Amino acid sequence: MSRDIVKARDIIKAQSSLESVAAQVLELAKAQGATAAEAALSEESGLSVNVRLGDVETIEFNKDKGLGITVYFGQRKGTASTADFSSGALEDAVRAACSIATFTAEDPYAGLADAARMATEIPDLDLYYPWDVSPETAIELSTECEDAARGYDERISNSEGASLSSHEGTRVYANSHGFMGGYSTSRHSMSCSVIVEDDNGMQRDYWYSVARDRHDLEAAVAIGEKTAARTLQRLGGRRIDTCKVPVLFSADVAGSLVSHLISGIRGGSLYRKSSFLLDKLDEQIFPEFVHIHERPHMKKVLGSAPYDSEGVATSARDLVRDGVLQGYVLDSYSARKLKMESTGNSGGVHNVLIEPGELDQAALLREMGTGLLVTELLGMGVNIVTGDYSRGAAGFWVENGVIAYPVDEITIASNLGEMFMQLQAIGSDIDHRGNIKCGSLLIDAMTIAGS
């Protein structure tokens, strides 16, 4: 029997059992008098292994399931969740949600997403590549990864270990419009973290790889070596004087700037008027060379989803074109509050792509000349209401386009609105691992606080 048939059979089995639970709770809600209801269910299992200093540290077996039910009595809403799918527990959950809905206020904006927006076809996005990995194999691969890191250089004095985790799951969403959808996904990752030491103390860094299909993971040895190289680079880190200079965010941290953009154009931030990007639709928020897209249907990619968490069909669109904001990130509730239409983003965005430029990181460093390359950000000093930005950072001081020495214990500060407009260049070196796929970003100038 081919692997594909086994795979298809597994999906159908897990999905159909969740679908029958979903149908059951929608029926219970209706019987309790709810005028509308929606249910989201998930089932997940997996294995995580950590190997440290050549020996197993932990083996964890994961197995989780859950149900969330939301009921509407006209414009009143109530929500409950449970991990117990016995019929008694399902009844209790529905009853709890209905009870809450008798106390919550009439909210004119409450309700399911519009029936006309429900996904009618559910495309197969190729997200399910289960890996029946045994603890022994997981240990072997993790050991190979950690050995590669530890053997890379004698200055590597300690290790936090290497980990492998493999998870697969199925989720189902159903609502009283008659929508019932489900699909299975897998997610495998491997990571490593080691420590180097010199007279000034210890430094730690890490690297990881993540994919839907284990064959798309970076090789264990490559992850280990990259971890070691990154960690060694940090040796001899020092502080710099307080100054105002250009800053290059390396690709693996640059995505965080785009995530702040997303936070600022989320429906919840907008209808609460608590965003630095309020009323910026159709306005210039980046220089003209910036184009940002959302691509929910990319095959085999981590951020992909055929429909959002309200059953609304997802579709490709532009978020920013020629630097101008083209659309917000809305679910049906925030859309109604803003007198707009849902953008299929209940639960978040799906694969945000920043169109890459032509320069790689080395070329960007030359373009920057003298300034700071940031490779690590610490803390949460970002205010989405005002756009004020102040975070701890570590990275490298760059002189005449060349890395001079590592830097740590500094902060970088500015305002997001200004930083977006001061974007000078986008790298070609896209980090594909996250839901936001972005190259290095060069910002004209930020305040560095140091000694």
Partner 1 sequence: MSIPMDASIDSVAQQLLVPGGLDMNNLEQVLASIMTHDVDYADLYFQASRFESWTLEDGIVTDGVHSVEQGVGARAVSGEKSGFAYSDEIALSPLQEAATAARAIARQGQDKSVKAWTRSVGHNLYLPTDPLGCLGDKAKIELLEMLDREARKLDPRVKEVIASLAGGYDSILLAATDGTHAADVRPLVRLNVSVIVEQDGRREQGSAGGGCRRDYQYFIDEDRGIDYAREAVRQALVNLEAKPAPAGTMQVVLGSGWPGILLHEAIGHGLEGDFNRKGTSAFSGRVGESVASDLCTVVDDGTLAHRRGSLNVDDEGVPSENTVLIEKGVLKGYMQDKLNARLMGVASTGNGRRESYAHLPMPRMTNTYMLPGQHAAEEIIASVKNGLYAVNFGGGQVDITSGKFVFSASEAYMIEDGKITYPVKGATLIGNGPDVLQRVTMVGNDLALDPGVGTCGKEGQSVPVGVGQPTLLVDGLTVGGTDV
CB 325 within 8 A of CB 283: yes
Q: Given phi > 0 = left and psi -120 to 50 = alpha, else beta, which region is 222?
A: alpha
Question: Which residues 6+ apart lie within 8 Å of 181 measured at CB?
Answer: 119, 122, 172, 173, 174, 306, 307, 311
Q: For residue 194, give the 3-state DSSP assignment.
A: strand
57 near partner 1, rule: CB under 8 A: yes
Question: Which residues 6+ apart lie within 8 Å of 335 measured at CB?
Answer: 267, 341, 342, 343
- How many other CB atoms are found less than 10 A from the CB of residue 400? 10
Least separation in angstroms between residue 81's CB and partner 1 is 4
Q: Measured from the CB atom, is 111 or 287 closer to partner 1?
A: 111
56 near partner 1, rule: CB under 8 A: yes
237 near partner 1, rule: CB under 8 A: yes
Q: Measured from the CB atom, is 176 or 231 closer to partner 1?
A: 231
Burial label, 401 (beta-carbon count in 10 A; 0-12, 13-18, 19+): middle
Region near partner 1 per CB under 8 A, out of 176-184, 202-210, 257-265, 366-374? 202-210
Element counts in the chain: helices (H) and strands (E): 9, 17
- Of 6, 13, 31, 60, the one binding partner 1 (CB under 8 A) is 60
Q: State how far the Cα of 16 lies from the Cα of 398, in Å rounded to an integer.
A: 57
103 near partner 1, rule: CB under 8 A: yes
DSSP code of residue 314: P
- Of 46, 77, 148, 169, the one binding partner 1 (CB under 8 A) is 77
- Of 243, 281, 363, 403, the one binding partner 1 (CB under 8 A) is 243
Q: State how far the Cα of 342 lies from the Cα of 327, in Å rounded to an integer.
A: 11
Q: For residue 369, give the 3-state DSSP assignment.
A: coil
87 near partner 1, rule: CB under 8 A: no
Least separation in angstroms between residue 77's CB and partner 1 is 6
Region near partner 1 per CB under 8 A, out of 104-112, 144-152, 183-191, 297-305? 104-112
Nearest to residue 131, comparing CAs of 15, 42, 217, 208?
Answer: 217
- How many other CB atoms are found less than 10 A from the CB of residue 155? 14
Question: In Å, how far are 3, 124, 183, 431, 435 from 129, measured between CA atoms?
Answer: 10, 13, 12, 22, 18
Least separation in angstroms between residue 355's CB and partner 1 is 29
Scan for tokens 């530890």, then name that residue: 150
235 near partner 1, rule: CB under 8 A: no
Least separation in angstroms between residue 192's CB and partner 1 is 14
447 near partner 1, rule: CB under 8 A: yes
Give residues 365-424 in contact with partner 1 (rule: CB under 8 A). Answer: 378-381, 383, 385-386, 388, 390-392, 394, 408-415
- Of 8, 13, 16, 55, the one binding partner 1 (CB under 8 A) is 55
Q: Measured from the CB atom, is 353 or 374 closer to partner 1?
A: 374
- Of 63, 121, 215, 358, the one binding partner 1 (CB under 8 A) is 63
82 near partner 1, rule: CB under 8 A: yes
Question: In Å, how far are 182, 235, 365 from 249, measured between CA atoms?
Answer: 38, 20, 11
Give residues 123-162 in contact with partner 1 (rule: CB under 8 A). Answer: 135, 158, 160
Give residues 265-284 in contact with partner 1 (rule: CB under 8 A). Answer: 272-274, 278
Binding mask 6-25 for partner 1 (x = CB under 8 A): --------------------
Q: How far is Cα of residue 423 from the mean position of the Cα atoms in its chain?
A: 23
Q: Could you give the dihedral angle defined by the CA atoms of residues 294, 295, 296 and 298, in that order, rounded to the nearest 10 degrees? A: -160
- Of 6, 8, 31, 83, the one binding partner 1 (CB under 8 A) is 83
Q: Measured from the CB atom, is 32 or 79 closer to partner 1?
A: 79
**Between vectors from CA 41 to CA 18 and to CA 317, what angle results, nearest 5°?**
115
Question: In Å, how far are 247, 357, 414 from 370, measured between CA atoms?
Answer: 9, 20, 18
Least separation in angstroms between residue 264's CB and partner 1 is 13
| Tokens coding 30 | 């209706």
- Of 31, 89, 362, 402, the one binding partner 1 (CB under 8 A) is 89
Least separation in angstroms between residue 293's CB and partner 1 is 29
Least separation in angstroms between residue 200's CB and partner 1 is 9
Give residues 281-340 in contact with partner 1 (rule: CB under 8 A). Answer: none
198 near partner 1, rule: CB under 8 A: no
Q: For residue 316, give the 3-state DSSP assignment.
A: coil
- Of 185, 189, 191, 203, the one binding partner 1 (CB under 8 A) is 203
80 near partner 1, rule: CB under 8 A: yes
Q: Measured from the CB atom, is 326 or 383 closer to partner 1?
A: 383
